Structure 1
Amino acid sequence: MIIAAIFLILPLCLALAALTDLLEMTIPNRISVILVSTYIIVAPLSGMDWQTFFLSLGAGLAVFFACFILFALNVMGGGDAKLLTASAVWFGFNSSLTVFLIAVAFIGGILTIGILSLRSHSQEIMASGLPVPDSLLVAKKVPYGIAIAVGGLMAYPESPIVQAAMRAILL
């Protein structure tokens, strides 16, 4: 049951966050709460050592402070900051966090360029009747939750909690 939770909770929460950010340009707070609270419950039961567990919480704290600064500078939305912080806990304070953050930045850049391109052709897209959410064409924001979700799914196999679950499966 714990191993199933490890393999499902983060991917499902990230997928839901990406979908709601795409369609509504908002990420529900409950997604971030679910991510952090389930990590706190599941990680100690996964066989992860306490040092790794507390370093993971420290990773979330470090990402929170960076995101808080970006939010205060109006560079990042609050939902994106909370989702990035809650996801960082699942990656820990190691190379998987770096892979996660680089993947999010890379995918975010591609996403931003794509959305700017869509917006520059919004009149043609609306006239053609293509099923593109209005939020992508007229909103001032970029649904960065999509980049966080894709980057998270790309880096997740390298996270300490997945590695602990894989060791438990193989034993």
Structure 2
Amino acid sequence: MLEHVQTAFILVFPALVILAALRDVVSYTISNWISLALAAAFVPAALVAGLSLPMAGAHLGVGLIALVVGMGMFAAGWIGGGDAKLFAAAGLWLGWPAATSYLAVTGIAGGALATLLLILRSGWLRAYMPAGPAWFARLSEPGENVPYGVAIAIGALAAFPKTPFAALLG
């Protein structure tokens, strides 16, 4: 029974990260409740995973550093506010040393996403976009933002197996 409770708490992370990415793609927003739920769910997940106080503190430190970095990227206009909050909440869950993979994969995924959107927004593909759903047509709109929550989710999911939480799942 305890194993099922552990699994349920730990699966909150991938579920909410995926939800954030999907919301960002279709609406260019990541609701505050998603990042807040991620941050709040970390506490019971850390308890059921048996994280030591120093390890939980290290996770908190990574989350705080990610918040500062995310705020800086937001201030520079590189990402939106929801992206910055998601970046920090995911950093809290990932901790150290998974943070290095998180940063690297998020950066690579962000570059790939931007490249794909440039291709999608090019003149020769734009003629086909009105036939799709409205959110897809908006993605193909030149000058529109990049839903960076997708890159953050890819980075977070790629780094998740390196966390103590993932060890409990497999």
Same fold (TM over 0.5): yes
Q: How far did residue 48 of structure 1 move?
A: 1.2
Aligned to 1:102: 104
Aligned to 2:25: 22
Is 1:123 the counterpart of 2:123? The answer is no
Equivalents in 1 of 2:50, 2:126: separation in Å? 54
Deviates more, 1:130-139 or 1:7-16: 130-139
CA contact (8 A) 2:87 2:152 kept: yes
CA contact (8 A) 1:6 1:161 kept: no
CA contact (8 A) 2:10 2:165 kept: no
Q: How far did residue 161 of structure 1 move?
A: 2.6
Equivalents in 2 of 1:2, 1:43: separation in Å? 12
Listed as ranges, the matches of 1:5-154 within 5 Å are 5-92=8-95, 94-121=96-123, 122-126=125-129, 129-131=131-133, 133-138=136-141, 140-154=144-158
- Which aligned segments of 4 or more residues in structure 1 are displaced greater than 4 angstroms? none
Partner SS state of residue 27, structure 1:
coil
Equivalents in 1 of 2:58, 2:69: separation in Å? 17
Equivalents in 2 of 1:162, 1:52: separation in Å? 15
Partner SS state of residue 142, structure 1:
coil
Q: Which runs of 5+ in 1 are unaligned?
A: none
TM norm structure 1: 0.88
Q: Deviations over 1:10-31 (max 9, x none)?
A: 1110111111111111111111
Partner SS state of residue 69, structure 2:
helix
Partner SS state of residue 133, structure 1:
helix
Matched-pair identity in %: 34
Q: Which runs of 5+ in 2 are unaligned?
A: none
Q: Deviations over 1:78-118 (max 9, x none)?
A: 010000100000111x2211101111111111011000110
How many positions carry a matched residue from both structures? 164
Equivalents in 1 of 2:155, 2:68: separation in Å? 20
